[in-house]
Amino acid sequence: SKMSSYSNCPYNYRRLYIDKIAPKPRHFFAIGHSCHETFEAFYARPYQSNLKDLRQMFEENWHSEGYRDAEEEAEYKKNGWEWIKNYYHKYIDGQYKQAWDIELYFQLPIGNDYVVIGYIDRLEKNDDGTFTILDYKTDPKLRTQEEVDDDMQLTFYYWAMRELGIDVSALSLEFLCFNERVVTHRKPEDIQPFLDLVNTLVGEMAEKERLYNEIPEDDPNREAKGNELFPAKINHYCGGCDHLIGCPREQEIRTEYADYVMNLESEEEPLVEPDIEELEEDKQKQ
């Protein structure tokens, strides 16, 4: 998550992991936890539970924090149950497969003296002895096949499972809001470029953190210098960022990019999702 956070936005990474500003309760985190924990409870049983039991699991694993009011919570609770029920009908009932593992924890050395920690939502064993990784998503945006094929986190999972001797033949993102799954694959030859990227990325993160920590606390320009080391980068998650207020690019996000970010308060959900990098390039050309 640290690498993903840094890649998405170095500014947010600094505020969260270096300045250690605790994240606020958010409705999109709450609904995500609720759905994840419901499926964790469902697949913890060695048999297929019925829809009534699944509903009970959803109620028992519901998280109420982060919603603006009872009305918003009720709306998300209704939607969340619809997502889970639809997933049950499409991907479970009549084709149930017991999970080989759930919330699989791993801690592994990687690259130049680094250690990474992660969790796999669900692991299924296929008939040919290989495995499929399934990762639940409650994002209000359905990713394209290209985006999933390029997803660094999935490559990270693939590498981690190979390190543990688990042969993964497929990785699937389960987009609960849309009741769709997008399946991708990785090959052994994808690993070395991934490790090279990790070494470069983590080395860069460590060096910038070192330089930031060398700035005196009483330096009046400490924040500006920090922003230079860890610049804000506009991405689809800016709308729900805890650090949007005061972000060096807040005004741009609330105006030029308001239609393109998710969870921006007081704004409608985006109807289209153009590529943020293309928008940045177009802006620079103007």
Handedness of CA 263, 24, 38, 129 (dihedral sign): positive
162 in Cβ contact with 188 (< 8 Å): yes
Residue 209: both structure tokens together: 């953190």
Domain boundary assignment for the chain = 27-92, 99-231, 232-286
Let me know how long the chain is.
286
Q: What number of other Cβ atoms are within 10 A of residue 73's Cβ? A: 19
pLDDT at 239: 87
171 in Cβ contact with 129 (< 8 Å): no
The pTM assigned to this predicted structure is 0.84
User: How wide is the angle at C-alpha 167 spanned by C-alphas 162 and 171, nearest 5°?
Assistant: 95
Residue among 229, 122, 256 at smallest CA distance from 181: 122
pLDDT at 1: 73
25 in Cβ contact with 65 (< 8 Å): yes
pLDDT at 280: 52
pLDDT at 261: 82
Q: What number of other Cβ atoms are within 10 A of residue 202's Cβ? A: 19
Q: Report the run of H or E that residue 173 belongs to, with start and end.
A: strand 168-175
Per-residue pLDDT of the chain (286 residues), as tens digits, is 788 899 999 999 999 999 999 888 999 999 999 999 999 999 999 999 999 999 999 999 999 999 999 999 999 999 999 999 999 999 999 999 999 999 999 999 987 778 889 999 999 999 999 999 999 999 988 999 999 999 999 999 999 999 999 999 999 999 999 999 999 999 999 999 999 999 999 999 999 999 999 999 999 999 999 999 999 999 988 988 999 999 999 999 999 988 878 766 643 333 333 444 544 555 444 4
